[in-house]
Structure 1
Amino acid sequence: MYQGKNILVTGGTGSIGSEIVRQLLKYEPNVIRILSRDESKQFDLQYELKEYSNIRYLIGDIRDKDRINYATKDIDIIFHAAALKHVPSSEYNPFEAVKTNVFGVQNIIESAIDNNVEKVVAVSTDKVVNPTNTMGATKLLSEKLVSAAEHYKGSAKTAFSCVRFGNVMGSRGSVIPLFKKQIKQNNDITLTDKDMTRFMMSVPQAAKLVLNAGEFSTGGETYVLKMPVLFINDLAEVLIEDYNSKSQQSYTGKITEVGIRPGEKVYEELMTSEESERAFENDKMYAIDSLLNDRINTKQGFTKTDKKEYSSKTEKPLLKEEIKDLLKNTNLLF
Structure 2
Amino acid sequence: MKSFYQGKNILITGGAGSVGQALCEKLLGYGPKSVALFDINENALFHLRQKYSSQKSDKIRFLLGDIKNLDRLQYAFKGVDIVIHCASYKHVLECEYNPLDAVETNITGTTNVIQAAINQNVKKVIFTSSDKAANPSNTMGTTKLLAEKLIIAANDYGARTTVFSCCRFGNVVGTSGSVIPLFRKQILDDGLVTITEPSMTRFMITQETAIDLVLMAGVLSEGGEIFIFKMPVVRIGDLADVMISKFGNAKKVIIGKKPGEKMYEEIMTEEEMSRAVEGTEMYVILPQMRIGNYSKYTDYPPVKTMKTSAQMDPLNADQIRLLLEEARV
TM normalised by structure 2 equals 0.94
Would you identify which runs of 4 or more consecutive aligned residues in structure 1 move more than 4 Å? 292-297
Which stretch shifts more, 140-149 or 50-59?
50-59
TM-aligned CA deviation for residue 47 of structure 1: 2.6
CA change 1:83–1:294 in 2 (3 A) is closer
TM-align CA RMSD: 1.6
| 2:151 counterpart letter in structure 1 | V
- 2:5 counterpart SS class: coil
CA change 1:103–1:95 in 2 (3 A) is same
Which structure 2 residue ranges, 5 or more long, are not aligned? none
TM-aligned CA deviation for residue 115 of structure 1: 1.1
| 2:281 counterpart letter in structure 1 | K
CA–CA separation in structure 2 for the residues paired with 1:323 and 1:296 = 40
Deviations 1:55-84 (A, max 9, x none): 111100000000011111111110000001
**Alignment-derived partner of residue 322 in structure 2:** 325
TM-aligned CA deviation for residue 289 of structure 1: 0.6
**Alignment-derived partner of residue 273 in structure 1:** 270
Give the one of 306, 312, 317 matched to 1:315: 312
Answering whether residue 26 of structure 2 is matched by residue 29 of structure 1, we say no
**Alignment-derived partner of residue 180 in structure 1:** 184
- 2:267 counterpart SS class: strand
Answering whether residue 101 of structure 2 is matched by residue 133 of structure 1, we say no
- 1:157 counterpart SS class: coil
CA–CA separation in structure 2 for the residues paired with 1:241 and 1:188 = 13
CA–CA separation in structure 2 for the residues paired with 1:284 and 1:13 = 28
| 1:307 counterpart letter in structure 2 | K
Is the 2:78–2:120 contact (alpha carbons within 8 Å) kept by the matching residues of 1?
Answer: yes
CA change 1:254–1:331 in 2 (3 A) is same
Give the one of 84, 88, 93 matched to 1:83: 88
TM-aligned CA deviation for residue 32 of structure 1: 1.1
- 2:277 counterpart SS class: strand
Is the 1:88–1:262 contact (alpha carbons within 8 Å) kept by the matching residues of 2?
Answer: yes
Is the 2:223–2:291 contact (alpha carbons within 8 Å) kept by the matching residues of 1?
Answer: no
CA–CA separation in structure 2 for the residues paired with 1:225 and 1:243 = 29
Which stretch shifts more, 319-328 or 42-51?
42-51
TM normalised by structure 1 equals 0.93
**Alignment-derived partner of residue 213 in structure 2:** 209
CA change 1:309–1:188 in 2 (3 A) is same
Deviations 1:154-184 (A, max 9, x none): 2221110010011011111111111111111
CA–CA separation in structure 1 for the residues paired with 2:106 and 2:190 = 37
Answering whether residue 218 of structure 2 is matched by residue 221 of structure 1, we say no
Deviations 1:173-200 (A, max 9, x none): 1111111111112432100001100111
Identity of aligned residues (%): 46
Is the 2:130–2:170 contact (alpha carbons within 8 Å) kept by the matching residues of 1?
Answer: yes
CA change 1:292–1:115 in 2 (3 A) is closer
- 1:213 counterpart SS class: helix
Deviations 1:112-141 (A, max 9, x none): 111111100000001111111111111110
| 1:13 counterpart letter in structure 2 | A
CA change 1:115–1:136 in 2 (3 A) is same
CA–CA separation in structure 2 for the residues paired with 1:296 and 1:232 = 41
- 1:49 counterpart SS class: helix
Give the one of 43, 46, 50 matched to 1:43: 46
**Alignment-derived partner of residue 162 in structure 1:** 166
TM-aligned CA deviation for residue 207 of structure 1: 1.1
TM-aligned CA deviation for residue 294 of structure 1: 11
TM-aligned CA deviation for residue 49 of structure 1: 2.5
